[in-house]
Amino acid sequence: MYIGVDLGGTNIAVGIVDNFGKIHYQKSIPTGAHRKSDEVIEDIINLIIQVIDEYGLNKEHIKAIGIGIPGLSEPITGNVIQCVNLNWSKIPLKRIMERILNIPVFVDNDATLAGLAEFEIGSMKGKNNGVFITLGTGIGGGIIIDGKIHTGVNGIGSEIGHMVVGKNYYDCNCGRNGCLETFSSATALINYTKKLMEEEEYETLITEKINGDLNNLNGKMIFHAAIREDKLANKAVDRLVKYLAIGIINIASVIDPEIFVIGGGLSKAGVFLLDKVRAEVLKNKFIKNLPVGKIALAELGNEAGIIGAAMLGKHNKF
């Protein structure tokens, strides 16, 4: 058995997962992200011990622990480089946890691990090369090459949200301009729709949904209107799709994977979004008569975090 830990800005979820990616038992607690890192880490360790105990196992039954973090980590040392929304930097997470638990611990980015879960039991199952793209508050990625997760030397190897795909009207919070996540994340979609609603003349179905306050706007409302052929909503969605397609084609020209899998909150727009992305990629691919790889929706929901983290333990040699 393996332990998968999904460390988020809101909740810490811990699960017991078998060799096949099936969760047998799980529990979650609030992260309390305002606290110091050692307090949060202590909670993670205690929750792991509790979950193992409540499921009726001993530490000896656990081969490895994987942890997905909302930030960057060094793959070999397991040091957290930075987690902005937890206010963590340079934390030797693997070392601290292994010292106390005496079980091998592996750390990686949460989106990368959700991609690993899709590779093990979701949309990428049976493929050897795939790229997972999560469209949420930001954009994260998980890249599988020849059956192995690709994190890179410094842990930034799957940060596809920060690939520059154009020139944008505002800068990315990484400091550069034109990052994919400033065009195609849920945040970007909402920002651009707000801008259109403030600047454009035409009517939109969204107006009646927001109750007079643009701060009520969310991605679901925008897609809901776009599916009903709302002109403004489609303008915003088409912009998201245009830059996402540039990102996909860029990745294809470097990695040439068998499949791209789209996950995260915006993937709930389903086939409507998928069809638009496929059409845009086909229209713009750089070698016209060659395929770009299949494009599909993620199959796993929130549990992808725990499953992927546990599978990180399985994938590591120790």
Residue 264: is it exposed, middle or buried by C-beta count within 10 angstroms (0-12/13-18/19+)?
A: buried
Pairing of strands 80-83, 88-91: antiparallel
3 state DSSP class of 63: coil
Q: In whole angstroms, how close is the CB of 161 to Zn ion at the nearest point?
A: 7
Q: Mention every residue, 6+ apart, whose C-beta is less than 8 A from residue 275.
A: none
Tell me: does residue 174 bind Zn ion (CB under 5 A). Answer: yes
Only segment of 40-48, 75-83, 158-166, 224-232 that touches Zn ion (CB under 5 A):
158-166
Q: In whole angstroms, how close is the CB of 303 to Zn ion at the nearest point?
A: 28
Q: In whole angstroms, how close is the CB of 33 to Zn ion at the nearest point?
A: 22
Tell me: does residue 23 bind Zn ion (CB under 5 A). Answer: no
Binding to Zn ion (CB under 5 A): which residues in 69-108?
A: none
Distance of CA 199 to the CA centre of its chain: 32
Of the pair 179, 252, the CB lying nearest Zn ion is at 179
Only segment of 122-130, 165-173, 207-215, 251-259 that touches Zn ion (CB under 5 A):
165-173
Of the pair 185, 234, the CB lying nearest Zn ion is at 185
Q: What is the DSSP string of 64-94?
A: EEEEEESSEE-TTT--EEEEGGGTEEEE-HH
Of the pair 160, 281, the CB lying nearest Zn ion is at 160
Q: Considering only CA atoms, which of 114, 99, 108, 91 is closest in space to residue 45?
A: 99
C-alpha–C-alpha distance, residues 143 and 59, integer Å? 31
Q: In whole angstroms, how close is the CB of 46 to Zn ion at the nearest point?
A: 35
Tell me: does residue 162 bind Zn ion (CB under 5 A). Answer: yes
Only segment of 3-11, 36-44, 177-185, 250-258 that touches Zn ion (CB under 5 A):
177-185
Of the pair 103, 172, the CB lying nearest Zn ion is at 172
Pairing of strands 259-263, 294-297: parallel
Only segment of 60-68, 176-184, 227-235, 292-300 that touches Zn ion (CB under 5 A):
176-184
Tell me: does residue 139 bind Zn ion (CB under 5 A). Answer: no
Tell me: does residue 172 bind Zn ion (CB under 5 A). Answer: yes
* CA triple 234-235-236, angle to 5 deg: 90
Only segment of 154-162, 196-204, 222-230, 262-270 that touches Zn ion (CB under 5 A):
154-162
C-alpha–C-alpha distance, residues 263 and 133, integer Å? 6
User: Count residues contacting Zn ion (CB under 5 A)?
Assistant: 4
Of the pair 176, 283, the CB lying nearest Zn ion is at 176
Of the pair 44, 172, the CB lying nearest Zn ion is at 172
Of the pair 123, 137, the CB lying nearest Zn ion is at 137
One of 5, 107, 111, 179 touching Zn ion (CB under 5 A): 179
Only segment of 68-76, 146-154, 174-182, 261-269 that touches Zn ion (CB under 5 A):
174-182
Structure tokens at 229: 């052929």
Packed helices 37-54 and 93-101: angle between N→C axes, nearest 10 degrees: 40
Q: Which segments within the chain are labelled E, that is strand?
A: 2-7, 11-17, 23-30, 64-69, 72-73, 80-83, 88-91, 105-109, 130-135, 139-145, 148-150, 259-263, 294-297
Of the pair 172, 298, the CB lying nearest Zn ion is at 172
Q: Which residues bind to Zn ion, rule: CB under 5 A?
A: 162, 172, 174, 179
